A and B are shown apart, each in its own frame.
Chain A
Amino acid sequence: MYGRKGFKLISELDLYSDILPFNVGCMIEALIKEVLQEMQSLYDANVANSNAIRNDNNMALLPSVQLRHIALKRNKRCILAYIYNRMRKLKELRWELGSILPPEINTNLINAEVQWFQSYNKSLAKYMRSLGEDHGFNLTTNMVPPKTLYVEVKCVEDFGKLELDDGQVILLKKNTYHLLPRSVCEPLIRQGILEHKKYVSMEFPSYEQETQTIQLRSIKSDD
């Protein structure tokens, strides 16, 4: 049946919703090639048949041409959807992790995607520079409303030197604690290099505990 390979491509995409394995084992590439081959053979058969229709006026061939055309469109849709959905994920990564992708993801990309990502970076940066007063405005910071300017963080990984906005250079070593401006930390925390230290307020009983006891009570009363 036509369209099988294209379907497999999309189910592959559906299965691994969080990563982008493009070149893994060359399987996806081979799959895409097979889909393209199928499209080529469909197209060739249609050209031959439509020539026959034109020259011999053999209208009996028309339904077959229509069927192949539908299959051709389906295959096109599968391939385009595959590429488009990967692109959308890349776009989300830009907002999540910043302009430099971790190597684990980078190796899964093909050249065209790397190029697309760079140009997306460029247009986003250009747009953010045009906002605000003189330095531009970084839209990717403060994804949750800030309450303090400085936050206390623990360094989880050796990172090396980090230059702050005021020119001061600090050394981020594993298992050290720092009090840093929130805007500097935010991307590093999201990348998993720093860890935000939490303060648990002791004055209020936590909501979760409370609901749990309520649920327990209700279970007991059910009995």
Chain B
Amino acid sequence: MACCQSYIPDYFAITDILSTEERISCKIEVELPGLGFLDSSCQSENLKVGTKVEFPLWLAEPLKNLQNSVVSVDIPKIYKEGYRQILEADAEVIVLSKWNPFYYELGMHVRKLSDRDYEIITESLLQTFKSRFQLVMDWSQNAMSDPTLSIQLPRLERDLFLIGQQAKIRLVEWLKMGTNELVVSEITTNLKKRKREQYEFD
């Protein structure tokens, strides 16, 4: 029984927590007393105005959105003009997971940081996904696709890829007039595998 997750990242969403850990370079706009240790090169006790620091996104975003912004942020280069053009040219050949394993999830957060490029980034994300979707679908429908493929995909596409493969397998089973067979739970199979490994190890 799958308890489905809503598409919008909820409070407990693992992928959202993982993607918001990404470092964003920020400039301090207001002096922060007693937090000098957050910048390793800083000697003084306070974090001075103008210091450049790398804050995780979960910290940078709310600090910027405060009534008087504590930091000003610089969006990661993979969402900037140059990289957007690479994607525009040919999104399919890029190993997107090397740029960032949570490319789309992070992008949805990053676009909110940039007032100027909000719409351009959104459009770029959508176009990238659209042009790569065909590729992902192709891979998942081919039984011969190689298992390392899924590592090359960022998380969102990887999940789609795995779901697609499952669906394909189920379709083939159904076409064989089957689906009536009762099968061992995946969890039990995994537990047994583990036991055997332990046994062989001893």
Contact = CB atoms under 8 A, between A and B. Distances in A.
Contacts of A3: 21, 56, 58-59
A150 interface: no
B182 A81 contact: no
A71 B13 CA distance: 18
Interface in A154-210: 182, 185-186, 189-192, 195-196, 198, 201, 204, 206-208
B189 interface: yes
A7 B178 CA distance: 44
A215 to B, nearest CB: 7
B3 A207 contact: no
A66 to B, nearest CB: 6
A92 B2 contact: yes
A95 interface: yes
B181 A80 contact: no
Contacts of B192: 192
Contact of A92 (B1, B12, B180, B189): B1
B31 A66 contact: no
Contact of A63 (B32, B181, B185, B194): B32
A78 B185 contact: no
Interface stretch (B62-70, B81-89, B104-112, B122-130): B62-70
Given A3-B58, A7-B21, A18 B187 contact: yes
Interface in B15-74: 17-18, 21, 30-35, 38, 55-56, 58-59, 62-63, 66, 70
Contacts of A112: none
A118 interface: no
A146 B180 contact: yes
Given A81-B11, A85-B12, A70 B38 contact: no
Q: Is the interface of A mostly helix, strand, loop or mixed?
A: helix
B191 interface: yes
Nearest to A208: B172
Nearest to B31: A60
A31 interface: no
Nearest to B175: A207
A144 interface: yes
A191 to B, nearest CB: 6
Q: Is the interface of B mostly helix, strand, loop or mixed?
A: loop
Q: Which of B13, B21, B66, B143 has the most CB of A within 10 A?
A: B21
A118 B68 CA distance: 50
A67 interface: yes
Contacts of A92: 1-3
Interface string B171-195: 0100111111111111111111011
B185 A96 contact: yes
Interface string A74-112: 100110110011001001110111000010110000000
Nearest to B11: A77
Contacts of A206: 176
Contacts of B62: 70
A201 B18 CA distance: 48
Contacts of B31: 60, 63
Nearest to B40: A1
A22 interface: no
Nearest to B13: A81
A147 to B, nearest CB: 5
Nearest to A144: B179
Interface string A108-147: 0000000000000000000000000000000000001111
Question: Which are the 6 A-B pairs with shortest beta-carbon distances?
Answer: A95-B1, A207-B175, A192-B188, A190-B185, A189-B182, A196-B182
Interface of A: 1-3, 7, 10-11, 13-14, 18-19, 45, 49, 60-61, 63-64, 66-67, 70-71, 74, 77-78, 80-81, 84-85, 88, 91-93, 95-97, 102, 104-105, 144-148, 151, 182, 185-186, 189-192, 195-196, 198, 201, 204, 206-208, 211-212, 215
